[in-house]
Amino acid sequence: MPWWTVHLEGGPRRVNHAAVNLKDEIYSFGGYCTGEDYETRRPMDIHVLNTVAYQWKKLPLPRPDDPQSKITPYQRYGHTAVAFNDCAYLWGGRNDSDGACNILYCYDPSTGKWSKPKTGGETPGARDGHAACVIGNRMYIFGGYEEEVYRFSNDIHCLDLSTFIWSLLHTWGTPARWRDFHSATGIGHFMYIFGGRGDRGGPYHTNNEVYCNQMQIFNTQDNTWYEPSCTGDIPSPGRRSHSAFVYKNKLYLFGGYNGLVDEHFSDLYKFDPDTCHWSLVKCIGDGPCARRRQCCCVVGDRLFLFGGTSPNPEFDEEEMVNTEFELMDHSDLYVLDFVPSLKTLCALIALKSQIDTSCLPEDIRWELLAMTTNSSISRPQNTNG
């Protein structure tokens, strides 16, 4: 059974950011924090998590006279990032001064540099709230809100990451509904679309929201949509701004938000693509509070969840005395271990039993520190070689 083993505070306070796992480090790009200035253009920030030491670092931004300053994407939210060949490819998103973007950016962690690959073909219109995944050597983009035409999208655009040629795919079957802030997950040669915010006006934004909880699947080999008959604990109600990730060829969903019932979620679901069966995952330990717009990345057998936003318990809609912000942005990190080691289990038992840990080996005491501290930490160096 999965265990929530680590909870740390003091990381980057970010909402609607994008993150990827590159060589066992997690790179988090952009996003916003309530109260910050998003009308002044500035380079996108990058925060890096060491998944062994559970320590964050913020990479330095380029100086104005550095050529990198002209290549670095501007700070934004609602964008996507995917990993391919040990690099991160960032696309889309918007901010309050520059609007939405449709330029492709590549970040190479080995050099610490951004580049703008020259692309061709049918470039998608600028948007935010879309979803992206990599299948084979191609990045697939689905949905989002297209700013220039003021409408939701249900098109699929494909970027060949070996030639950097964009294609608008002509598909068969009934496509998934127009939407934004959904998830797109690649398993095998299939793309799995779930959730998001639609509108009864179809592609148009009429403030009549629709939240679908039906899984829809796109076969990238024959460009065909289909809607499977699902069984089990189907996530209900539908939701947007959730997280989707893959572990051992199973698709998982965490959290999200439904505007019709004004509810945030902290549940974890598993979808088996072979049987189209949903199950509610029961975890041990204290997990994250209900939230949306967080990031989830899998490294080995562990899920790293960080950031997002939740209802602020101190907000008083009538009095407005405690805080002016209805939502509370998070700077926390949670780790869900799908296969906890004996060392981790010993640490958890010691923690639960409140035993004296001074007699325990140093690595187990370090595990205890990681499970109880409220700030980023780093693992002690092994002085014995």
Given a cut of 70, is residue 123 above it in pLDDT?
A: yes
pLDDT band at 357 (very low <50, low <70, confident <90, very high): low
Q: Using one digit for the tens of pLDDT, what is the confidence trace for 285-300?
A: 999 999 999 999 999 9
CA-to-CA separations, 35 to 79, 92, 326, in angstroms, rounded: 20, 23, 12
Chain segment 48-68, per-residue pLDDT in tens: 999 998 999 999 999 999 999
Between 132-141, 193-202, 374-383, the lowest mean confidence (pLDDT) is in: 374-383
Query: Mean pLDDT in the chain?
Result: 90
Q: Are 138 and 85 in contact (CB under 8 A)?
A: no
Indicate if the pLDDT at residue 367 is higher than 90.
Answer: no
**Complete edge-to-edge strand list for the sheet that includes strand 105-108:** 80-84, 87-91, 105-108, 113-115
Q: In the predicted model, what is the mean pLDDT of residues 121-146? A: 98
**How confident is the model over 217-252, as pLDDT tens digits?**
999 999 999 999 999 999 999 999 999 999 999 999
Q: Which whole number is the average pLDDT over 177-203? A: 97
User: Is residue 126 within 8 Å of residue 118, measured between CB atoms?
Assistant: no
Residue 128 in this model has a pLDDT that exceeds 70: yes
For the chain, state the CA radius of gyration.
21
Give the pLDDT mean for 206-211.
Answer: 95
Rounded-to-integer distance, Cα 326 and Cα 329, Å:
10
Q: Alpha-carbon distance 245 to 303, whole Å?
A: 9
Question: Would you say 173 and 156 are in contact if contact means Cβ atoms under 8 Å apart?
Answer: no
For residue range 77-100, what is the model confidence (pLDDT) as tens digits? 999 999 999 999 999 999 988 899
Cis-peptide into 73, omega within 30 deg: no
Instruction: Give the integer Cα–Cα distance in Å for 143 and 155.
Output: 6
The helix/strand/coil state of 348 is helix
Identify which of 22, 114, 124 has the alpha carbon closest to the alpha carbon of residue 72.
Answer: 114
Q: Which of residues 324 and 153 earns the better pLDDT score?
A: 153
Distance CA 342, CA 347 (A): 9
On the question of pLDDT at 319 being above 80, the answer is no
**What average pLDDT does range 327-335 have in this prediction?**
96
Identify the DSSP state of 69: G
Least confident of 16-25, 165-174, 259-268, 361-370: 361-370
Neighbours of 299 (CB within 10 A): 16
What average pLDDT does range 103-129 have in this prediction? 97
* DSSP annotation of 293: S
